[in-house]
Structure 1
């Protein structure tokens, strides 16, 4: 099956399949230690079909060809945690994937959490604690956690077989404006030196009559993370630019979102 691929690797039995099923993928087949799932993405912007491949042991020879996204489940408190992290780092270096998510249960030990965060930053992973929930304040800002965050990150990727939906109507103005609100209070999760030049992307979209929505949507999470390093007043300005860029890329009339 020639589809874009998500590889889910777990150092704990059963967790890879659990993540695949929780994001909504349907089981296809099983061969040796590999279980394949089919995941249909159908959101307000596009549709796509993804092959999700799960492996429950890092001792198995892992196929790395054609992987677009890697999700790792790891128990930082396991006896052989350091050795497993060394292997996962080497696996990452062998992939050409663009999405790297490191999942685990909530880490309550501060020193251990700092250690895991440093590993994630060094290896270009985003840390996703599966049983983490947001407080009432962060919930109003649009942050997602656990499985919802994994789904959000995968939806933000530009898959090679993406099929964009119809251009927006006036009723969708409010939904597009909500994108800008997510820039108000966000956390930095990746190495700043690796983040994209957000302003260059926005300038290109705003100055292009044939702005590409797929490109902009695919870069959204990276732009969101870069905005975390800006002062609050600059984030508000950037949020306005992001909303304008999204609306233009979706084919909307800029007059419809002006105050």
Structure 2
């Protein structure tokens, strides 16, 4: 079989594997299937995203099997359905593990209608098993927590069949064809660009005003300093009188030929102030360091690999799989740090799919007032 495939299975008669295909293709009537092996059927699926296109086979099986060698090699994803209210269906899922060890699919998803703590297979138990075995738990119709409905969330969690499609789209299919110069169509990106533009405009105005104020103060100080020096010079000449004998003439209170420039107290204060300002600016951590400090070492390594053209084919998919964990980390951060965290991830994703740096040039320079002191 030439095209790579995703294998769908079910451990309960209440949900047939073909239901997955209907939901993904968005149709009630399935097209004609290809018979890969005696127990495996395949349906064509053309993936067309903003970034790439690929032709994939959506395969279904009613029994545990790895098919033939060609089929086993082509399986890139395994999605299986079970009923948390029936522990026997969960045991059937576990019975797939020896077969999966032979197939070694990169995407593993455990699906149910919804999961709760009171089920025969509790939510925590199912999630822990998924973590231990490299699966992701997806609920087709998750129960909505009313307490969290009104909370602002920078990372909107995708659930149901959309999450399954999202995971398949995020996979690096061996036959994908990248598109050239993808267009930024996400409202999130457009809003970030708009806010960044407004912040930079305000910064320019603020810097311009500060520059004018500093120039005015500097001119006033220079005028006062010049007047004071002139008065001191006149007073010095009056007190010393004309030079006579071996005494050196005094000019503005300093002996001629001394070599030390005359520095007024105002100029010294100005110099100290300028030097102090530089030190304060140097001691303040840069914006990139502040954002990076928000991320643990494993996330930093993953973001670095995404920004690197030679980061490997698995980094992009790995980032998508870790979004849920990153979301949980962001929820405990203050609002300004959550925004910085979200922006860092967004920029890394853009670089990972080969986006032009010029199109996101403003996103990496967060404003000082948004950074924690």
CA RMSD, 1 decimal: 3.3
Please identify which structure carries the higher helix content. Answer: 2
Aligned pairs (5 A) from 1:125-144: 125-132=135-142, 134=144, 136-137=149-150, 141-144=155-158
Aligned pairs (5 A) from 1:1-259: 1-13=1-13, 15-24=16-25, 26-30=31-35, 32-58=38-64, 61-63=65-67, 64-78=72-86, 80-81=88-89, 83-110=91-118, 112-113=121-122, 114-132=124-142, 134=144, 136-137=149-150, 141-169=155-183, 172=185, 174-176=187-189, 197-206=298-307, 208=308, 210=309, 217-228=316-327, 230=329, 231-233=332-334, 235-248=338-351, 249-253=354-358, 254-257=360-363
Q: Would the aligned equivalents of 1:133 and 1:145 in 2 still touch at CA under 8 Å?
A: no
> How far has the Cα of 1:252 moved from its partner?
3.9
In structure 2, distance between residues paired with 1:6 and 1:104: 18
Aligned to 2:207: none
Aligned to 1:186: none
Aligned to 1:193: none
- When Rg is computed on C-alpha atoms for both structures, the one with the higher figure is 2
- With normalisation by structure 1, the TM-score equals 0.76
Compared CA separation, residues 201 and 119, structure 1 to 2 (3 A) = closer
Aligned residues: 238
Please identify which structure carries the higher strand content. Answer: 1
Higher RCO (CA 8 Å, separation ≥ 6 residues)? 1
Classify the secondary structure of the residue corresponding to 1:53: strand
Compared CA separation, residues 121 and 110, structure 1 to 2 (3 A) = farther
- With normalisation by structure 2, the TM-score equals 0.55
> How far has the Cα of 1:71 moved from its partner?
0.2
Q: Would the aligned equivalents of 1:227 and 1:235 in 2 still touch at CA under 8 Å?
A: no
Residue range with higher mean Cα deviation, 6-15 or 220-229: 220-229
State the Cα deviation string for residues 109-153 of structure 1 (Å, max 9, x = none). Answer: 435222222222221111111122656458964211111111111
